[in-house]
Amino acid sequence: MNSLLLLTKKTLGQVEPEDRAFGESMLLKFLHNLEGQAQELERVILYTEGVKLAIKGSESALSLQFLCDSGVEVLLCQSCLEYYGLDPQELVGEVSNMQRIATYLAQANHIISP
């Protein structure tokens, strides 16, 4: 098994700006439902806007923390954190670089990108 969840935005799928809140709520449901299938995932990678999902105290971060606690590696793009001015101490997951992220993406047998 080498399944990877790739999160690049705060919504599930592409949504119109007026539907953003709906897309965000659907992503939260998706993450919550993945909690019961943590054994199927090897890692979660967050980059671009997706890194905002890891902010401690947010609903999405609770699901990510559950996945971490279940042995799933959660990786956050360092350049993206810097771009958005996010403090790694306030996030769930491990700071990583694009070289490592690209390697994991290339090696994955299955990439889930909702």
pLDDT in tens, 62-96: 999 999 999 999 999 999 999 999 999 999 999 99
41 near 4, Cβ under 8 Å?
A: yes
pLDDT in tens, 33-70: 998 888 889 999 999 999 999 999 999 999 999 999 99
Question: Is the domain 3-112 a CATH 3.40.1260.10 member?
Answer: yes
Percentage of the chain exceeding pLDDT 70:
99
In this structure, which amino acid lies at residue 9? K
pLDDT at 61: 96
Work out the pLDDT band at 100, boundaries 50, 70, 90.
very high
Both ends of the chain: CA-CA distance in Å? Answer: 19
